[in-house]
Every structure is written in structure tokens, then in C-alpha cells.
Amino acid sequence: MEIKYINYFKNLLGSENVYDDKAHLIAYCYDATRTRYEPDAVLFPRDESDVSEILKYCNEHRIIITPRGAGSGFTGGALPANGGIILAFEKHMNKILEIDMENLVAVVQPGVINMHLQRTVEAQGLFYPPDPASEEYSTLGGNVSENAGGMRAAKYGITKDYVMALRAVLPNGEIIRAGKRTIKDVAGYNIAGIIIASEGTLACITEITLKLIAKPKMSQTAMGIFPSVEEAMNAVYKTMAAGVTPVAMEFLDNLSINAVEQKFNKGLPKDAGAILITDVDGNTQDELTQQLDIIEHAFLENGCSGFKRAGSVEESKNLWFARRNASQSITIYGSKKLNEDITVPRSKLPALLKAIGEVSKKYNVTVPCFGHTGDGNVHTNVMVDGSDPKQLEIGHVAIEEIFKATVALGGTLSGEHGIGLSKAPFMHLAFSEGEMELFRSIKKAFDPNNILNPAKMGL
Amino acid sequence: MFKFNVTSDACVKCGKCIPVCTIHKVNRDEVTSPRGFLDLLGAYQRGELELDKNAKNIFESCFLCTNCVDVCPNDLPVDMLIEQARNDIRKKFGLAWYKKLAFFLLRNRNIMDVLARFGYMFQTCGFKMVEKQSSMYLRNFPIIKMDRLFPSLAKKTFLNSHPDVIYNGGKGKVGIFIGCLANYMYTDIGKSLLEILKVLEIDAYLIKQQKCCGAPQYFTGDFDSVDYLAKFNIEYIEGFVNELDAIIIPEATCSAMIKADYVHFFHDQPEWQARAKAIAPHIFMATEYLEKKTNLAEILASKSRRSETITYHDPCHARKMQGVWKEPRNLLSKNYAMIEMSDPNRCCGFGGVTMQTGNYRFAKAAGLPKAAMIKETGAEYVSAECSACRMQLSDAMHGQKVDVVFKNPIELIAKALREG
């Protein structure tokens, strides 16, 4: 990066917040996709006005900017694919600004870690439900930008359901407010709605107002064993239709069960076609029991061969163990995991799993699946030998076919990871040329010079 | 030696290690985070990153608290890689004169003993003593920051104050590896341990020729010294270990070093690794041994409840490296009221010799929240079985004007026995 730019930023932010040494360029070149693109500089803005000044200057000088939270994304949203500046929010803009107990609202800066907010509000009896698997380390700014989901989505929804308002900086440096601290707000376009899940391509979020709810007093876990995936999937949507909305309804297929078993030897049913793990919550034990009774009934009617309720926190943890450790266990099937988070309407789950089975057979690749069946979100993992380019290629072809099947079933390319770089080539499968053109027009309206996180989302 | 790029490539970059990292809490920057360290070390091995002054500062910023190792889904040994990188740094940049001097003295205990004696006589010239905490702070000295609290030297070292064997009735026999800080500075720990063994009627064998365990040198990357000290201590301990029930150490760091890090350090010297592994099962932290293998808990239960309150801090080298955290609490709670601080497992921020000198600003910043959470408990004592934590926490509390006194659990237990 030209020295005059660096000097400008040092003057603006102080030299302790501007870096272009090799170590910083390396440390900010990756995220959880493990793809590498070195930026030209790393900036640590101290507040909204810093962000505004930086964007204004970059817009004038056509310098590319990529905002970054924790760098834990799975699709490359925070990767500086075309170089330029990494705008890192982790250093300064990481404070919870307000917890409004009267309106049940939290106001946070984008660098706050999800779990930090959860713990803080839970200490006051409140609840922030979105719980992506990265909750311990991902930031809320990243969560909003990718519209992160989580295990509790079946009952409580995802990040977008909790964003009430945003403050953000447009590429020209303009500070905008979108949304209100009100339940109802119908004035103007829903700009916050457009910025959510925009992966940092439209504006830099500088402040987030989130809805909170009262924390249910108790929860209970149960597990059901099924002879086949289809039966388990049927049980899922039958349960939902029976009038219970579990907090979570997660599944592991036979391959995933066996992977966990091989790695940890937990006494899981190795012959089972699938297991379902579910959580219900409420304020009294009766409420929990009632829900579990209905679930048990729906499970048993759909081929469930064993139903177990956890009697203690310890037992709950045990039941959840398999699901929590599935992702790392399936590496026994191949060094490289082509991991997708396709999502279909719940009723289409049996058809989707069947289609995945066929793709697996056709290309002779192992595809363990697990995930959030309660909301139709399946983590599909095409396992290949990462050192074999031929296998990698076959893997990618298999993925494309799975995407096609998903879209044909009315589903989406991504339930929670976003598009970023990894899924950009598949956008044409899910969107028409006219729809893609509309996306591009929106991007241009916000960012006419294309300085903000370009090359993402296949635009 | 490890190949840095192998471990670096094994990192899946999930980011789980970052929020638990002690230095990242202080300096929120990916370059000073476990994921960043690993990636930079891979780049260093591939020749993409030069080991320059900047890289040196980065790799010296790690506290080696091992929080990251604890949460890593792939159990990557970040601490061991950092230690090895520091060995490369030492080879390239050399050691500062004061570290060389300190490590020389730790290798040569007889000279250290004489110097400690002189030091004791003259320390009041330069330092103001704080008797209650066996500590002192500087009156005036050019290099070191004023108002910083240091441990004061004892009049006579622990090992030179007692005979080789103290017969207490032969109900058992344990060796005592006292560690340097408790030998030269906090001598009440050893005295208290002897009092406890007397009550238990267990004979005490003072391991008098012990040399420094090598932890300070390991954390600073002086692998030549570690190699020398570890081999000396292993060979020395092998000479008598089978005649004793156990070797007990009232210090988390020395204990973790001898029990766990010797095995790690010798990962590419199989013969020595086997010898380190063979002595490891005989090594115990003092509270661990006393709680599990003696009837101390029972005896304490027969003594009166006391009015003083204690909050317990978990040393990284006790809880994370040796799984010892219930034992001291169980013994202390027999006589004292225990109040848990909000995050007892959070690293105190001691971080080793380099952190306490060149990077003192980081140590100070990491100590702040710890001092605050200790204060919040309102306890009269803060306790941890680690004299490095003691140095750091005493200084942090001194800086924050927190009036809580630090005691090793062994001292508090002896007090409860003594005062009935």
C-alpha cells in the first residue's frame, strides 16, 4: 500500500492502530475456510467516526475495504480477496453499550462476541437466542453480516429475527440509522433487512440494537433412535405438526454416528440409521414433560426404536455429546471436508437425504450428514482426500449436484454460513439472471465504486 | 524439534482459541493470538516471515497459559511451539544480560546461595519491605518501574535451614522438591509443609541438591539450560525415588515442569523422555498428595472453623496442566470459608521472565482484572499453590491498592493446624 495512504491512516487513527508489517498481513489473510488472501494493511478503528473517515478516504482513493469480526466464517466473507484494507473490529469496537431492561433490548458494538452478550443478558434473566456453533468466538457484527443461525433456530429463529436496528457507515462515509427500538416500524424501506446477510458488501455496521426475550427457566433433552434416515426425517416434521416446537431438533446419520463412536467410544447405536437429539424448554417441569410426551409419541409412531429422556444436566450433556463432536469426528472419512449447509423446507428433508444418498453412490464419495433438522438445515459433508486433486474435483461436482437437488426441492444454498467466495460459483443455480441483476443494482446504490468487500456473493 | 508448518497446517482456523487467550484479552489483535502464532510460525518455517524484532516481540507476548491448548479441537501444542520459537529467537538475538545472569545463578545454586545471603543483607538499601507479604518495592532504581512489588529474599534459604531428613514417626516418607522461589524468597511455605508432615507423622526428605526445574529457561527459550537442568534433576531424582512414597512440590510450575514438561521437552530424545516418564508418576503437587494420600482432610475437620475467608486462584500449571484444583479447595474448606472469585481459572498474567521484564505492560494489564475479581470477593486471603502467581498477584493487588494477602494453601493449612 502506498506510503501516503498509510501515513494518512496513521495520522487519523494513531500508529498503534495501523499496520502493514508482514506479520499483520499474514495473520489477517485467512478465516475458517483456510483460504489465504493477504491484505495490504490492517486498520483498527476506535469508533464510528473513525470508520466513517476511513471509508470516505477509501472511497475517494478507490481503496478496497473488507470488514472483519472474528475471522471465523466458513465462506470467506472476511477475506480480502482483492487485497486492500482489513477493517478489524476486534480491538476497540467490542463493547456492550446498553441493556435496556424496559424495552428488552441490547445495544452492542460489532466486535462483541456472541457468547459475551448471551452471558451478560442471562445474568439478568434475559435471553439472546441465536447460537451459531461459533458462539464462543464469533462476533455479533459477523453474525448479523452473515445472518447466523444456530441450534435454537427451530423455535427461536435466527439473527435477523433479533436485529431491531443498525447504525452503519456507507462507503461514502455517510453514517446511517436503519430500524428502530420499536416492535412496529413501517416507515421507509427496510434498510436493516437489506444490510443483514449482505456480508459486508453494502455498509460497515457500527452499532447493533438487538431484541431480547425472557429466559425460560428450564430445559430438558431427549434422544430418539431410528432405523433409517427417512423415518427420522418424517418424525421431525410430524413432531412439529403435532403442536410442539422444540428448541432444537438435531440429527446424525449412520456415518456420523459411527465416526463419533470410532473416535470417542460413547456407546452410541452403531446400527441405527439416524438419531435425533432434541431440547424442549419452559418454565415448569410439567410443561417440559408434556412437550416430551408429544415428541415421544410422534417419534414412536414413525419407527423410533428407542427414546431416552435426560434426567440431569450431566445426562443432557451426554446426549448432546455426539452432535457436538460430529463435525470433528467425520474427518476419519477423508482429510478434506467439503462442507455445505443446504436448507430445505422441513417436509422435504426425506427427499433431500435420499438425493444426497444417490449422489454419494453415483460419485463413490462418502457424505456424512448431520445438522439442524428442526429447521431443515442439513450439514452435508463431502469427504475426500485433500491431497488428491482428482478426488477434489469429483467432490466439487458432487457438491454442485447436491445444490441442484436442494434448489429443486425449494431449498437454499446456505442456511447460515453465507455465500462469500466459496459458494459464489453456485449462485446462478439459485437465482435467475434478473434476480442477480437486482442484487447488483442494490450493491451499486450503496457502493457505486465497488470498494466494500468486492468479489463476494457472485455479484 | 517440531516442524512448525506441520502444526500450523493442522490448525483448522476455527478461532475457538482466541477469546480464551490471555494476551488476546490484553492486546486484541490476531497477531497476538494462538491462531495467529501458529500461522506465523508456519510462515516462518516456509521462509515467508523473517524472525525479526517484530516477530520476536510477537512470539514473546504469549503468556504460555495453555488456555488455547485446553479448548483446541485438535489439541495442538501451541505452548510447545512458542517455546521452541523462543529458542530460535535466543539463538538469533542472544539473551539479555540479566536473564543470562539469572539463568547462570539458577544453574549454580552454591553461588546463588551466597548471593542470596548478600542480597538479604543489602536489599533494604534499595527496597522498602512489606513484611506481611514477604515482599518489597523499590525505593529508587533506574531500570525497573517504581512502586512495583517484588518478593524479598529470606535471611536463610529453606534448604539451608533444615537437616537432610526430618523424622516424624515413619508413617510414610516423602521427598520435598521446594522450588527456587520458595527456597530463596517465600520460605514460610517449606516451613509450613514441614509442620504439616510432622502432624501427619510422615518423614520429610529434603531434596537438597535439587537444581532449578528449568521452567523459567524453558519459557524463555534457553533450551541448552533446560536440557542441562532437566537431565541433572532426572538423574538425581532417579537415585532415590523408589525409596520414597512420593516427591511433593508445593509449587504448580515446578511440578508441571518436572511431571509434564520434561516429557514434552524430550520429545525428540527418546531415552530421556522414557526416564522423564518413569519419574512422573512419583511427582505430586503438595496439596494433591496430602488430600489424596494422607488423612490430612480428616485431621483438619477435627480442628476448629476459622473466621477468615479465602478465595482460591487456579494456577495454569495446576489446573490446566495437572488437573489439580479440587484438592486445595477441599483441604482449605475444612477450616476456612471459601468464596469463589468470578473467574478463578483466568490466568494471573505472570507469563515468565520476559513478560515480567520487557513485556511488563502486558503482565500488568493481565493482572488488572484478576486483582479486581479478588477484591470483589471481599476475602481476606487469596491463595494459589504457585509462587509465580504470588509474585504477579501481589504486584497486581499492590498496584490496585487491593488489601488482600496472598498465602500458599500450605501456609494456610499449617496455620489452621497450628492454631487448632
Q: Do residues B322 and B259 touch, judged by C-beta distance below 8 A?
A: yes
CATH number at residue A183: 3.30.465.10
Q: In total, how many domains does chain A have?
A: 2
**Domain hosting residue A80, numbered range:** 1-215
Question: Which of A158, A193, A215 is the C-terminal boundary of a domain?
Answer: A215
* Inside any domain, residue A437: no
Fold: same for B4-93 and B299-418: no
* Inside any domain, residue A344: yes
Triad B371, B376, B380: Cα angle to 5°:
80
Instruction: Give buried/exposed letters for B155-175 (b at 16+ CB in 10 A, else e).
Output: eebbbeebeeeeebeeebbbb
pLDDT band at B95 (very low <50, low <70, confident <90, very high): confident
Q: Residue B31: which of A24, A32, A136 has the nearest Cβ? A: A24
Q: Residue B148: is its pLDDT beyond 70?
A: yes
* Inside any domain, residue A66: yes
CATH code for the domain defined by B299-418:
3.40.50.1860
In chain A, how long is the greatest CA-to-CA distance?
Answer: 71
Strand, helix or coil for residue A292: helix
- Give me the DSSP letters along A414-432: -SSS--TTTTGGGHHHHS-
What is the least distance, in Å, from the CA of B111 to any CA of chain A? 42
In Å, how far are A267, A302, A328 from A321, measured between CA atoms? 11, 24, 12
**pLDDT number for residue B146:** 56
User: Mean pLDDT of residues grouped by 10 in chain A (459 residues)?
Assistant: 96 97 97 94 98 98 97 95 97 97 96 97 96 94 96 93 97 96 88 96 98 95 94 90 92 94 90 94 95 95 94 90 87 87 90 93 94 89 90 92 94 92 92 96 97 94
**pLDDT number for residue B182:** 92
Is B361 an 8 Å CB contact of chain A? no
pLDDT tens readout for residues B268-294: 999 999 999 999 999 999 999 999 999
For residues A192 and A326, state if they share a domain: no
At B325, list the grid cell: 484444583
Superfamily of domain B4-93: Alpha-helical ferredoxin (1.10.1060.10)
CATH number at residue A322: 3.40.462.10
**Closest alpha carbon within chain A to B16:** A137
For residues A111 and A128, state if they share a domain: yes
Q: What is the pTM of this model?
A: 0.90
**pLDDT number for residue A183:** 84
**Do A26 and B54 lie within an 8 Å CB cutoff?**
no
Residues of A in contact with B15 (CB under 8 A): 32, 70-72, 134, 137-138
Helix (H) / strand (E) element for B365: namely: helix B360-377
Instruction: Give buried/exposed letters for B123-138 (b at 16+ CB in 10 A, else e).
Output: beeebeeeeebbbbbb
Triad A147, A191, A408: Cα angle to 5°:
50
The position carrying cell 450493491 is A443
**Do B30 and A27 lie within an 8 Å CB cutoff?**
yes
**Closest alpha carbon within chain B to A35:** B13
What is the least distance, in Å, from the CA of A303 to any CA of chain B? 35
Phi, psi of A203 (to 5 degrees): -160, 160
Q: Bridge partners of A269?
A: none
What is the least distance, in Å, from the CA of B31 to any CA of chain A? 5
**pLDDT number for residue A237:** 84
Instruction: Collect all residues from A whose CB is shorter than 8 A from any CB in B.
Output: 21-24, 26-28, 30-34, 44, 70-72, 88, 90-92, 94, 113, 115-116, 134, 136-138, 328
**pLDDT number for residue B142:** 46
* Inside any domain, residue A440: no
* Residues B10-15, mean pLDDT to the nearest whole number: 91
For residues A31 and A86, state if they share a domain: yes
Q: Residue B144: is its pLDDT beyond 60?
A: no
pLDDT band at B96 (very low <50, low <70, confident <90, very high): confident
For residues A298 and A396, state if they share a domain: yes
* Inside any domain, residue A311: yes
For residues A403 and A353, state if they share a domain: yes
**pLDDT number for residue B126:** 64
Listed residue (A361, A368, A294) closest to A331, CA to CA: A368
Residues of B in contact with A38 (CB under 8 A): none
Domain ranges of chain B: 4-93, 97-151, 158-290, 299-418
For residues A309 and A168, state if they share a domain: no
Q: Do residues A312 and A247 touch, judged by C-beta distance below 8 A?
A: no
CB pairs under 8 A between A and B: 70
Phi, psi of A208 (to 5 degrees): -125, 130
**pLDDT number for residue A266:** 87
pLDDT tens readout for residues A256-292: 999 999 988 888 999 999 999 999 999 999 999 999 9
Strand, helix or coil for residue B43: helix
For residues A149 and A40, state if they share a domain: yes
In Å, how far are A44, B27, B56, B220, B371 from B361, measured between CA atoms? 20, 11, 16, 17, 15
Question: Which of A402, A418, A434 is the C-terminal boundary of a domain?
Answer: A418
For residues A388 and A283, state if they share a domain: yes
**Do B40 and A44 lie within an 8 Å CB cutoff?**
no
**pLDDT number for residue A346:** 87
Helix (H) / strand (E) element for B197: namely: helix B188-200
* Cα Rg of chain A (Å, integer): 23
B interface test, pick of A19, A72, A87 with most B CB neighbours within 10 Å: A72
**Closest alpha carbon within chain A to B27:** A91
* Inside any domain, residue A439: no
pLDDT tens readout for residues A412-427: 999 899 999 999 999 9
For residues A45 and A194, state if they share a domain: yes
pLDDT tens readout for residues A364-398: 999 999 998 888 899 999 999 888 899 989 999 99
